[in-house]
Structure 1
Amino acid sequence: MKWIDLLHRWTGGIVGLVLAVLGLSGAILVFKHQWLGWLPGAGDAQRQDVATLAAQMNAALAVPGEAPRSLLFAYSDFGLTRRSYSGEAGVYADQAGRVVAAWDSKWDRFELWLFDLHHHLFLGDAGEIAAGIAGLIGLAFVITGVILWWRLRKTFKLRLFPKRMSRPAIVTHHRDIGVVFAPLLFLSMATGMLMVLKPVSTAVFAPGQGAGALQKPFAPPKVEGGPLTRNLDWAAMFTAARARYPGAEIRLVALPRKPGDLIQMRLRQPAEWLPNGRTLLWFRPESGAIVDTRDAQAMPTGIRAYNSVYPLHAAKVGGWLWKLVVASTGLVLAMLGSFAVWTFWFKRPKPRARPVRPAIAAAE
């Protein structure tokens, strides 16, 4: 038991700050659409009629200069469409096509750099892997923390905050609040880790199928498209998509990034948890003709289970109750991680001084 305690404390003192950052940023991002509600048009009711969607595509493509890389249409709780351009540039436009906010860098928008902090720790792909490893270590924290709590379970007292800011009170609070949130902390860190560490998620959801098994069903067809026509009949394309998948919500249109690429349309069927769905259609960029489709609901069980990881992690399913639960879990993780670092590095108990034995006088 002593080595478990030692490992738990030392690892917490080192990794705790990373977990605190991930927990706090995640808790804030849960309510992103709510605190972006001050933007003009953010509170507008979502419109999914073909005419409105087609008008938004035509408005975006009519702007002189570079065409957007993608359009992410308004949600039921956020009435703006996001146009993304090369690099980090983008705009928010209302559903009539009017631009209400624009940026050239993620540093221009709080929600963008906060998202990058949570997902990449400002370090790109390396930061994403580091965050995934931190989540994996966090799972070990939960398991070892429950083991260490069990022997002291009779002293359990539920407090939201430590009784006082002394090291013993903080350690006691850390242990007790940690065991209360242990199942939710485990779920939060497991889902976050599974999204990032592909070898682990492949082993869980597609065992024995090798690298890339989870991405293979979503790979574009091996068909080369022509040059993008700016005046495509978007209404006809959206109508064709709806005919293939009645009742589906049209979420995103991704335009070709390089010559030969196809137009990709992403839909969300009613049974899908992912906010942007994983039902896909590809169109020829020169004519708008359908090339291929993928039905997310017809995919293998493992793929559909993997598609539920992000909605659970980011509280995109379950309504307001699950949002509050996930945000609370993130705040508790931030508190546990920051207090662990503080008590380990700045509140460590001083070693006891050994009593000095009096020297025995030599016999004369």
Structure 2
Amino acid sequence: MGLIRLIHAWAGAVVALVLVVLGLTGSLLVLKEDWIRLTVPQARAEVVPTPQALGAAAEALERARPGEIRTIAFAGPHLGVHKLYFRKAETEGYASADGQVLAEWTGPTRAEAFLFDLHHYLLAGERGMIVAGVAALAGAVMVLTGLVVWFPAWRSFAWRMWPRSSRRRELLSAHRDVGIVFAVPVFVFCLTGGAIVFHDETRALLLAMFPHEPEEVFAPPPGRGDVDWPKALAAAQAAFPNAQLRMASVPAQPGDPVSIRMKLPAEWHPNGRTVVKIDPATSTVLEATSAQSLGTAARISNAIYPIHAAFVGGRVYDVVTFLSGLALAGMGGFGLWSFVVKPRKKRVRANDRLRPGPAEVH
């Protein structure tokens, strides 16, 4: 038990600051679409994502910005603007339902882009992402060790979400109580956050656990030509009539297929993992893969992001996610303050008492 307490305390002190950042930014990102609707008036519109309407918008965007757009995340009933990903590094934008560019930015210069970059990359690129992933997995371990440490003293639990004073004992009590109340969701969010960062390792582990994957289907090679977007999207819709059109990737070079992502009713991922490959020369289907036909490992992997980012469960799950992020930040803050700052102040006071006064020196 002593070793577990030591691991829990020191691991918490090392990663606490990162977890505070991840918790606060994760809570705020739950409100991302609400923020976009607040700051971009066109986003408040309810767009019916028909192949004709989305295709016309894609055609307008290609005419306005030829060769510049890499991917379009289509508008829909909940968000009335298209999200644009440009080929220029780190450049994104919003477009109206009819395909007019409304905003464009590079890097974390908009509030929602800044929050995402801070949460996912700690504003430090790929290295920051690795640090965030390690901290998230450490947070999951800390939840488990915290439960082990708490269990012998379970009678001390008091539902205290905020310390009554800055005394170390009160800080630790709040740290403990918040951790117990939010243990399950915080563990899930930390574990799924780490799994997102270490995607390849997660997928390899899942494949080892569930090795039976469907055989890969080889599609015929695409031809060369300009995409007829209304026709291409209509062909994708015909392949999966019950699915919602969510994203389209513009071919990077002649001879590449168009990739269209769709969301079936049973899928959790906001952009879907059902993929239709389109021949740009004929705007007809080359290959269609339903997310429901994927193996167990792929389907579990596809569920990790929507669980982590609160794209399941509606507003109730949004509230749980928001509060859990605050709880993670609170646990990190209370724990760090009690472990590092408060003991140090006590030691300083003790040293002051032992230091000889002027009369003793002389």
| TM-score, normalisation: structure 1 | 0.88
Partner of 1:193: 194
SS of the aligned residue for 2:236 comes to: helix
Structure 2: distance between partners of 1:9 and 1:244: 54
Aligned to 1:264: 259
- Find 1:346's aligned residue among 317, 341, 351: 341
Where do 5+ consecutive residues of structure 1 fail to align? 357-364
**1:272 partner SS:** coil
Gaps of 5+ in 2: 355-362
Query: In the aligned structure 2, how far is the partner of 1:223 from the partner of 1:21?
Result: 47
Equivalent pair of 1:220/1:282 in contact (CA under 8 Å):
no
Quote the Cα distance in structure 2 between the aligned partners of 1:23 and 1:261.
Answer: 40
Q: Offset at 1:270? A: 0.7
Kindly provide the CA deviation profile for residues 141-192 of structure 1, in whole angstroms up to 9, marking residues without a partner as x. 0011111111221221112211112211101110111111111111111111
Question: In the alignment, what sits opposite 2:207?
Answer: 206
Q: Which moved more, 1:243-252 or 1:86-95?
A: 86-95
Counterpart code for 1:130:
V
The verdict on how the C-alpha distance between 1:48 and 1:165 changes in structure 2, with shifts beyond 3 A counting, is same
Q: Deviation of residue 224 (structure 1)?
A: 5.2
Offset of residue 223 of structure 1: 5.9
The C-alpha deviation readout for 1:90-130, integer Å capped at 9, x for no partner, is 22111122222222x12321111211111122222222222
* Paired position in structure 1 for 2:278: 283
Instruction: Report the equivalent of 1:361.
Output: none
Check the 8 A contact 2:117/2:123 in 1, yes or no: yes
SS at match of 1:108: coil
| Counterparts of 1:97 and 1:167, CA distance in 2 | 57
1:100 aligned residue: 102
Q: How does 1:305-324 map to 2 (within 5 A)?
A: 305-324=300-319
- 1:335 and 2:337 are equivalent in the alignment: no
Instruction: Give the drift of 1:202.
Output: 2.6
Pick aligned residue for 2:233 from 235, 238, 254: 238
Instruction: Supply the RMSD in Å over aligned alpha carbons.
Output: 2.4
Decide whether aligned partners of structure 1 residues 341 and 68 sit closer, same or farther in structure 2, where only a CA change above 3 A counts: same
Query: Sequence identity, in percent?
Result: 34
The residue type paired with residue 206 of structure 2 is: F
Structure 2 counterpart of 1:362: none
**What is the rounded CA distance, in whole Å, between the counterparts of 2:217 and 2:133 in structure 1?**
27
Shift of 1:21: 0.7
Secondary structure at 1:66 match in 2? coil
Q: Is the 8 A contact 1:60 1:67 kept in 2?
A: no
CA distance in 2, matches of 1:117, 1:225: 39
Deviations 1:298-349 (A, max 9, x none): 1112221221111111110100000000110001101111222222322115
Residues 64-79 of structure 1 aligned to structure 2 (within 5 Å): 64-79=65-80
Q: TM-score, normalised by structure 2?
A: 0.89
Secondary structure at the aligned position of 1:41 is classed as helix
Return the match for 1:91 from 90, 93, 101. Answer: 93
Conserved 8 A contact 2:222-2:255? yes
Which residue is equivalent to 1:254?
A: 249
The CA distance in 2 between the partners of 1:203 and 1:243, in whole Å, is 34
| Structure with the higher fraction of residues in helix conformation | 2
Q: CA deviation at 1:53?
A: 0.8
